[in-house]
Each structure stands twice: as C-alpha cells, then as structure tokens.
Amino acid sequence: MGTFLAPAKINICLHVLNRRSDGYHDLAMLMQRVSLYDKISIALTGGADITVQCGGVTLPAGQQNIAARAAQALLDRAGVRQGLEIVIEKNIPVAAGLGGGSSDAATVLMGLNDMLSLGFSPEQLMETGVKLGADVPFFIFKHAAWATGIGDRLEEVHGLPPVWYVLVNPGLEVSTAWVYKNLRLTSARDNLRIPRFSGEVEEVVNLLHNDLETVTVERFPLIEDVKQQLIRLGAKGALMSGSGSTVFGVFSDECTARAAAEKMSCHDGWRAFAVEPV
C-alpha cells in the first residue's frame, strides 16, 4: 500500500481571456499549492477492478470518480491490468475552487507511477492528466506556476514571498460549469505577462484578481462578506479562489493568520484553515 498527500491550490489571479471554439476558455493564472491536504491510500489487489472509497463525502462512485479514472487512464497507457483499492480521506472542501478533485487525480497518477515502477516522466503524466481536468497538470508540475491556455501551459514562478493564507469555505458548493456559462466577457486581453517578485507581501496583494468572482458573488453575496471579514481580521487582501466558493486572505505572519482562522471557524457551517505555500 502507498499513502500520499494531495494539496489544495489557490488562484492568486485568474484572468479569462476569451472563449475558444472547443468550448473551453483561454486563461492566464497564477496558481500556488498550499498546505491543506487530502490523504490518499492506494492498495494493489488481486482482481482487475478499481474501487474508490471517500467516507463522509458524496462523490461519483467507481469509474466516474476522477481518482478512479486517473488510475485507469495510467494503467491503460502502460498496458497493465491491475486491481486497486483507493481510499481518500477528504479534507479539501468539494466544489470549492481549491482543485481538490484535480489534485487527487494528479496524486493517483504520480503515486501509481511510483508504486508500479511504470517509468513515466512528469511530462507524460501531465499529458495523461490534462485529459482528466485542466488543473491536473499543475499538481504534477509541483511549483507555483503561471498557467495559460486552458491552464495546462505552465511556467515556474520564482520569488513568491513567504506569506500565510487563511482559506474560508462558507459551506457553499459552486459548479464551475455554471460559473463559466454565466460569465460575460468584456474584452480580450493579450498584454498579461508572467509576474516577477522580490519577496514583498504587497506584490501578492497587488495581483489579486479573479474574473469569475463577479459571477459567483452575484448568486452568493455571502462570499463578499467573507472577504470583508478577513480584511477586518488583518488580511492584507482577500479573493475568491477559482470558481468559488472558498475565499482566501493574505497574511504577513502565521500568528495573525491562525487567530483569524480560529475566529472564522466560529461561524456555523464554515470551515477555515491557516495554510502556507508548498
């Protein structure tokens, strides 16, 4: 059996550039992994079936689960028949803009590649991963990244400051497909460039932007309230991650971040986490 950690991600900025002919959107994003993890255990079995257990969370079962689909895709590419039992201890909120499903899929790809000594390179794993979800390659990349295309073209970003984040999920599940369907693009932009950093917290705060936030806040005004509460608790800035509903605040020190997370956790049905970049 192998046990692996699948981290969450945040989008420090997310710009939607245009809608493509294939139905996807061209994006420009700064993405960073953070220290909130799902725990994934993979056991080899004697049969040929792939099963997924995820206690306490309603997820598609069997082959419809993205972790199972990731495992099957890798085994098919390797030409290997192998039964698996995958157990996911879910800590990352579901449908929350934190990439939990994509991270689980990426972690299964990497973990199974090691367990079976399949020998696929990270680039090959990313080729398999992008067919499962646009964010999957980012988690295999393992670095803060400037992501373009549908999110699959990745450039490593250096020099991000050692900030802390407080993630707050107010218990809302948001459909990414619904958000993009209701997004109204105003004008195409082609002047966005990979950001450069010298280590100052303000450099992160100045980048905070999410084109999807207006759509989600219009339906769920509570998200704006969460942002304002984080600012009052000491965040230098706050933003919705991805398509929501999780909001993160940027903090310059661990102590203030942990105090804010504890305060935000007092709200009924809310989950808050003080995390750092990984």
- State pLDDT tens for residues 30-77: 999 999 999 999 999 998 899 999 876 665 555 478 999 999 999 999
Q: Is the pTM of this model over 0.85?
A: yes
pLDDT of residue 241: 96
- Closest to 205 (Cα-Cα) out of 234, 179, 242: 234
* Count of Cβ atoms closer than 10 Å to residue 117 Cβ: 6
- pLDDT level of residue 119 (50, 70, 90 thresholds): very high
Question: Counting beta carbons within 10 angstroms of the beta carbon of residue 49, is it exposed (0 to 12), middle (13 to 18) or buried (19 or more)?
Answer: exposed
Active site residue 9: yes
pLDDT of residue 186: 65
Active site residue 38: no
Examine the pLDDT at 231 and tell me if it is beyond 70. yes
Examine the pLDDT at 137 and tell me if it is beyond 60. yes
Examine the pLDDT at 10 and tell me if it is beyond 90. yes
- Numbered ranges of CATH 3.30.230.10 in the chain: 2-155
Helices (H), the chain: 66-78, 100-115, 122-130, 136-141, 176-181, 201-207, 213-219, 222-232, 254-264
Domain 158-275, CATH: 3.30.70.890
Of residues 81 and 55, more confidence is placed in 81
Question: Which listed residue (9, 90, 227, 236) is catalytic?
Answer: 9
- 3 with 86: CB under 8 angstroms? no
- The domain made up of 2-155 has a fold known as Ribosomal Protein S5; domain 2 (3.30.230)
Average pLDDT on 125-133 reads 96
- pLDDT level of residue 188 (50, 70, 90 thresholds): low
Question: Which listed residue (135, 152, 227, 236) is catalytic?
Answer: 135
- Numbered ranges of CATH 3.30.70.890 in the chain: 158-275
Examine the pLDDT at 199 and tell me if it is beyond 80. yes
pLDDT of residue 197: 92
